[in-house]
Chains A and B, each alone.
Chain A
Amino acid sequence: KAGVTQTPRYLIKTRGQQVTLSCSPISGHRSVSWYQQTPGQGLQFLFEYFSETQRNKGNFPGRFSGRQFSNSRSEMNVSTLELGDSALYLCASSLLGGGRDEQFFGPGTRLTVL
């Protein structure tokens, strides 16, 4: 079974631009979560989608948004990029989400904002 894939793997943007990151979960998984990892703040939960609905949201500004498609693939969007948005963005998928479910993480997208 293929693992969680994320595209692109690396991205360089400038302040003020917007960016869209993509995540394809493991086949059959319906829950997709996104995390931001920075040296200063560590790993922080952004949001979780399940069956095309946002189920949980972390403490991030509205510039961070996401969506999930009917095939469970997910995208996250960051508008009006700031230097502090430079980070590794990790996506994780699980079968149903919560409970005993195990989350499998993708390799991440490293975003650099100049």
Chain B
Amino acid sequence: AQKVTQAQTEISVVEKEDVTLDCVYETRDTTYYLFWYKQPPSGELVFLIRRNSFDEQNEISGRYSWNFQKSTSSFNFTITASQVVDSAVYFCALRINNAGNMLTFGGGTRLMVKP
């Protein structure tokens, strides 16, 4: 069975601070995909990034960066110079290769960025 753990349930930072959201996953499958989604108060999940298990390169997109480490089964997400608009709940999710579109989500981390 798959499992995703986001140990940080809530994080509060002041604008312009850097913040890292942790994600640890468990799966026996060798082919899988990892995702991060953002859920603003409106409720809709917004896709941020997808990573497959064979690509451990870190990725940067503007103020966002992701650190994928298979050795520790972690896929952490860093926001640099946080802004108030980054306030949301962030979910890490796992999809194994032979499970269609079934995503296993972590419990989410609520990020509050204060001005």
Contacts and interface: CB of A to CB of B under 8 A. Distances in A.
Contact of B100 (A50, A88, A106, A108): A50
Interface residues of A, number: 29
Given A33-B101, A56-B101, A107 B50 contact: no
Given A42-B108, A100-B50, A108 B102 contact: no
**Chain B binding site: helix, strand, loop or mixed by DSSP?**
loop
28 contacts: A31-B101, A33-B100, A33-B103, A35-B105, A42-B105, A43-B103, A43-B108, A48-B100, A48-B101, A55-B101, A56-B99, A56-B102, A92-B45, A97-B100, A98-B95, A98-B97, A98-B101, A99-B97, A100-B33, A101-B101, A102-B47, A102-B50, A105-B46, A105-B47, A106-B44, A107-B42, A107-B43, A108-B43
Given A31-B100, A48-B101, 20 more contacts: A31-B101, A33-B101, A42-B107, A43-B93, A43-B103, A45-B104, A48-B102, A55-B100, A90-B45, A92-B101, A97-B101, A98-B98, A98-B100, A99-B97, A100-B50, A101-B101, A103-B103, A105-B46, A105-B47, A107-B44
